Each structure stands twice: as C-alpha cells, then as structure tokens.
Amino acid sequence: MFELFRKRDINQGVEEWRSTEGAILLDVRTKEEYRTYHIEGSINIPLQTIDEAEVHIGDKNKRIYVYCQSGVRSASASRFLKKAGFSDVIDIGGISAYRGSAAKAQ
C-alpha cells in the first residue's frame, strides 16, 4: 500500500538496473517515441502490445524496471505485468525526468 505514495525516481531506477545482473530496462512508449530517443540498453515493448511481454522477456522472475514518458503508461504496464505473473516489476516513472544521457535516433 505504501508503494502508492512513494515517489518514483527514474534516475535511481536506471542506476539500480545497471547494477542488477540480468535485469531488464523496459520502455513502454510507442516505437516512434523510442526511435526518437531512449535510454541505451533498454528494450521497447509499447504499452499497446504489453500482452506480448512474455514472448520478449521470457523468465517471469527477472527484475524489470519500467519507464515511459511521464510515468502514466509505466504505471499501467507495471500493473499489467504483475497481474500476468511477473514477480519483480519496478515502475521507475518517466524519461522526462531522466538526467542521464539517452540514445538518440540516427
């Protein structure tokens, strides 16, 4: 219950992802948004196709850090993934608050 009131910090989440072996950084924005810019090393499964996550991720016990643009879609995707049986899902909010470098489209 207290997780609802905890402020999500994408910067801290990305650092945790980098230090967690085998973890996945999941961008749930559209393919167009992802092509424009994204956090290097992330994978893109748009919210509209999140029901295909098991095909792309496989192991439901992997730690998954989820982000989007502002935090709304990442919250929805995180809820879906947890209901689908993924056991270690962390919503880290929106890339709009990210202070690190992001890969840009070429």
The CATH number assigned to the domain holding 59 equals 3.40.250.10
74, part of any domain: yes
Is it the case that residue 48 has pLDDT exceeding 60?
A: yes
pLDDT, average across residues 3-25: 85
101 part of a folded domain: no
81 within some domain: yes
Say if 105 falls within a structural domain.
no
With respect to residue 63, please indicate whether it lies within any of the assigned structural domains: yes
What gap in Å lies between CA 73 and CA 61, rounded to an integer?
A: 22
Quote the domain boundaries for residue 35.
2-94
Active site amino acids: 68
Does 99 map to a domain? no
- Count structural domains, the chain: 1
Residue 105: pLDDT over 90: no
Query: In this predicted structure, which of 16-20, 76-80, 101-105 has the lowest mean pLDDT?
Result: 101-105
Q: Which two tokens stand for residue 44?
A: 């893109």
Residue 55's Cβ-count burial label (10 Å; 0-12, 13-18, 19+) is exposed
Confidence of residue 7 (pLDDT cuts 50, 70, 90): low
CB 92 within 8 Å of CB 27: no
pTM for the predicted model, two decimal places: 0.90
d(CA 83, CA 97): 27
Distance (Å, rounded) from C-alpha 63 to C-alpha 78? 12
Residue-level pLDDT at 2? 44
Residue 100 lies in a domain: no
* Neighbour count for residue 37 (Cβ, 10 Å): 16
Residue 106 domain flag: no
